[in-house]
Amino acid sequence: MKRGEKKRGVVGLTEYGSLAVLVIAVAAVGAAVFGIVWRVAGRLSVAVGVTAAAVPVVTLLVWLVWRLFKRRKVDRPVAKILNVTEHMAQGEFNIDFSLAHEWGEYDVFDLILENLGTTAEELKKAEARRSDFVANVSHELKTPLAVIRNCADVLRQEGLPEERRREYAEVLGAAAGRLSDLVSNVLKLDKLENGSLPPENKPFDLSESLALCVLQFEEVAERKGVSFDCAIEEGVSLVSDESLLSVIWTNLLSNAVKFTEAGGTVGVTLRAEGGGAVVSVRDTGCGMSAETGAHIFDKFYQGDTSHAQEGNGLGLALVKKAIDLLGGEIFVESKPGEGSRFTVRLHGGS
């Protein structure tokens, strides 16, 4: 029997069966007493008076038994559930969720408490994730804001050489760009997680869309000394959300260029497959360990801190969320020192 399949029917029959036996026994004793009293009353010709006295006695006995049962089986667990919900309503989740019965003998109140305990655990995790998210966003905001403030202070100095002024202006622009990217990614991720950015699936030319995304990074790659090796099959069309897919390609290509040193190569392939498509982005960069690979889709996670100034740890979280919404899959192959390969499998009309 699975944990979720509580023996509700058996337990219910057992408990209420016990109550029925108890009530019947009390009624039987009352009836016997009443019979004896009735016979005596008949002999004494006071049957009416004795009957009036016996009925309240039996009623009182039954009422007492019911009160004892209700207090033990209903009032106490209901009071505990009420106490638990009051604490949860105040944001307190470290509560006593101990159950009255062992597993397999749960009653309906045990099931309610168990469900409340599960809910409390999920709420605790959600609160922890919220706190971590706020802390990470605050940390990510501090760095570019500090750079902007310092550059602004320097640029206000009189007599600053023009060359130095241009250098600080470029740093200022880069910090502002990083800040803008962070805000944009946070908003996009929030919309994706809240379902306020549902996919708009339409037929489009995936080959052309992917090629345009690659072109956006050619200048950056050229300045860094990184070359592209593309094998994009022509005429691959897909029914999907082109804008969401662009978010995926942009982040994968950005990471590939970022982690590839001068003289390295970024490879991009596209092929149609079974009514869908498979896109692969690989690099000859530093690669990553299995431990790092297990967390790369977590928000704000950055396995290689040497490139921390070039990103905010939200790119791959966006990629994973977008792929999940589109009903696709993503696979990662990587080894330290041997680069990484991200393979995205998409489903849709071709």
- Write out the two tokens for 209: 């869309």
- Over residues 141-156, the mean pLDDT reads 82
Cα separation of 135 and 18, whole Å? 56
Task: Report the half-sphere exposure of 65 (CA within 13 A, side-chain side).
Answer: 17
For residues 140 and 48, state if they share a domain: no
Q: Which one of 123, 151, 167 terminates a domain?
A: 123
For residues 206 and 291, state if they share a domain: yes
Q: Which one of 194, 212, 244 terminates a domain?
A: 194
For residues 207 and 338, state if they share a domain: yes
For residues 34 and 164, state if they share a domain: no
CATH label of the domain that carries residue 273: 3.30.565.10
For the chain, how many helices (H) and strands (E)?
10, 7
Split at pLDDT 50, 70, 90, the class of 8 is very low
pTM of the model: 0.55
Let me know: does 329 contact 278? Beta carbons within 8 Å.
Answer: no
Res 310 pLDDT > 50: no
Q: Which one of 194, 210, 232 terminates a domain?
A: 194
Nearest to 269 by CA among 296, 231, 302, 295: 231
Higher pLDDT residue, 238 or 14? Answer: 238
Split at pLDDT 50, 70, 90, the class of 208 is very high
For residues 114 and 39, state if they share a domain: yes
Q: Which amino acid is at 322?
A: A
Res 14 pLDDT > 60: no
pLDDT on residue 7: 41
Split at pLDDT 50, 70, 90, the class of 299 is low
**Is 1 inside any structural domain?**
no
pLDDT on residue 38: 52
**Is 130 inside any structural domain?**
no
For residues 342 and 246, state if they share a domain: yes
Range from 9-13, 92-96, 210-214, 284-288 that averages highest in pLDDT: 210-214
**Average pLDDT value for the chain:** 75
Split at pLDDT 50, 70, 90, the class of 326 is confident
Give me the domain span that covers residue 182.
135-194
Split at pLDDT 50, 70, 90, the class of 139 is low
Split at pLDDT 50, 70, 90, the class of 160 is confident
For residues 215 and 331, state if they share a domain: yes
For residues 256 and 148, state if they share a domain: no
> In the chain, which ranges are E strands?
202-205, 227-232, 237-240, 265-273, 276-283, 329-334, 340-346
Split at pLDDT 50, 70, 90, the class of 20 is very low
Report DSSP state, residue 71.
Answer: I
**Is 128 inside any structural domain?**
no
What tens digit of pLDDT does each residue of 238-247 get? 999 888 898 8
For residues 140 and 107, state if they share a domain: no
Split at pLDDT 50, 70, 90, the class of 71 is low
Split at pLDDT 50, 70, 90, the class of 149 is confident
Report DSSP state, residue 289.
Answer: -
- Over residues 269-284, the mean pLDDT reads 92
- Over residues 17-31, the mean pLDDT reads 51
For residues 178 and 84, state if they share a domain: no
Reported residue count of the chain is 350
**Is 144 inside any structural domain?**
yes
pLDDT on residue 16: 45
Res 34 pLDDT > 70: no
CATH label of the domain that carries residue 177: 1.10.287.130
Split at pLDDT 50, 70, 90, the class of 69 is low
Give whole-number Cα distances, 52 to 20, 55, 65, 88, 159, in Å.
Answer: 25, 6, 21, 52, 113
pLDDT on residue 145: 82
For residues 174 and 216, state if they share a domain: no
Give whole-number Cα distances, 254 to 18, 80, 111, in Å.
Answer: 70, 54, 50
CB neighbourhood size of 323 (10 A): 20
Q: What's the number of domains the chain is made of?
A: 3
For residues 104 and 146, state if they share a domain: no
pLDDT on residue 150: 85
